[in-house]
Amino acid sequence: MRKTVDGFSKFSKLEKVNWLVSTFFNDDSKVKQVLMQYWNSNPLLQDLHDDFIENTISNFYLPFGIAPNFVINGKEYAIPMTIEESSVVAAASLVAKFWSTRGGFKAKVISTTKIGQVHFMYEGDKTGLENYFNSKKDNFYKVTEGITRNMRKRGGGILEIELRDKTTELENYYQLHVTFETADSMGANFINSCLEAIAKDFEKEDIQIVMCILSNYVPECLVHAEVSCKVEELYAENSELLAQKFVQAIQIANAEPHRAVTHNKGIMNGVDAVVIATGNDFRAIEAGAHAYASRSGKYKSLTNASIENGFFKFWIEIPLAVGTVGGLTSLHPLSKLSLKLLGNPSAKELMQLIAVAGLAQNFAALRALTTTGIQKGHMKMHLTNIIKQLGASDEEKTFLIDYFEHKTITHNAVVEAYNKLVQEK
């Protein structure tokens, strides 16, 4: 059967589903049922979701949870988190409560500028190019006035435009490097529109524009978050030894990229969960964060820790380009609810909350790794998922949870215990 199709985007949603099921699933009615059972019964809400992307055939749900007990800069928060990985929300909640009795989290935004670039090729004399750029620079602000007007009213706009010579990296390659402030919006469309207007005004016969695009590497859109306490307040026993192991764990991540990647992945568990819940772009955040972790030329930890004069300090610095207006933040009902839950924060405030979530997640992971090990807590949370996969009844679920209360949890062990239980019954 021919599996290519013409005019698919013009099909109705049901026609798309029918084509998919008949072409790839041999008209299996169960497949159609799975897809349609996730359609929202509210047609207006479903239409809203259908318009987020092209060729929508269903909705893909992720758990939407809350991590309470966060105290950040003296203010209490319950932080919304959207993620499918077990133990993430539980870990964040436990860490939030732990630090709430030790002064809470402190956070501050270091800077908020973002970058966009016009990439072009030029084979002529560099001095001539510099003279041409200087003659056009003031006009760049004029040709973008209509685009930047509303942003300037909110305190944003174009901050600087530079000509950069990149010919040592690539022959004939130059760029216009433009710095922006986008206030409470993430600003992607705003930045790209400005860049295209600048490029159109700049291009001439001997200047070949290749592309105009914002950068998701935003090392100057930076936020800092930290916690601190006396070493003896960190652990109930062996506090000095365990605090030292905690610091050593980060030193290992700075020395060993294989560990650093997993270390930072744990941070992004917390970061991404809040980014998704608030309708922001987690792919852009991920790319920018990992690039920042490599800024020294070696991939390292995004967090740091120290022990000085009997005090333990743990902190993170991470680039976060997020928005609280525009895009999905203004469209998705749960994203709007998330922002309302957080007190309708500014973009700067949201940066702080997200950084804290990442720091909390990393603290939970390192505390577990340097004490009981990561699997004890993770597998306990994962136990319920294994039980569901087995199709256990409520009675069987209760038995298995009690049975593994003080036993090592592995997938095989749970399967064996379940099969034995079924056989005995």
Give the residue numbers annotated as catalytic, written as ranges.
85, 265, 281, 378
d(CA 27, CA 237): 62
What token pair was written down for 303? 């967090």
- Taking alpha carbons only, the member of 367, 92, 373, 365 closest to residue 245 is 367
Within the chain, how many helices (H) and strands (E) appear? 15, 10
- Taking alpha carbons only, the member of 226, 378, 328 closest to residue 337 is 328
197-202 long-range Cβ contacts below 8 angstroms, 24+ apart: 197/143, 197/144, 197/147, 198/118, 198/140, 198/143, 198/144, 198/161, 199/118, 199/120, 200/143, 201/136, 201/139, 201/140, 201/143, 202/118, 202/120, 202/133, 202/136, 202/140, 202/176
End-to-end CA distance of the chain: 48
Strands 114-122 and 173-181: antiparallel
Contact criterion met (CB below 8 Å) for 164 and 177: yes
The dihedrals phi and psi of 391, each to the nearest 5 degrees, come to: 75, 30
Residues facing residue 121 across a β-bridge:
173, 208
Alpha helices of 256-346 — where are they, by DSSP H? 257-277, 282-293, 333-341
Contact criterion met (CB below 8 Å) for 362 and 267: yes
Q: Exposure of 403 by Cβ count < 10 A (0-12 exposed, 13-18 middle, 19+ buried)?
A: middle
User: Any idea how long the chain is?
Assistant: 425
Q: Exposure of 236 by Cβ count < 10 A (0-12 exposed, 13-18 middle, 19+ buried)?
A: exposed
What token pair was written down for 37? 């059972």
Chain-centre distance of CA 81, in angstroms? 11
- Taking alpha carbons only, the member of 353, 356, 377, 355 closest to residue 365 is 377
d(CA 250, CA 228): 16
d(CA 101, CA 408): 32
In the block, tokens 């200087």 appear at 134
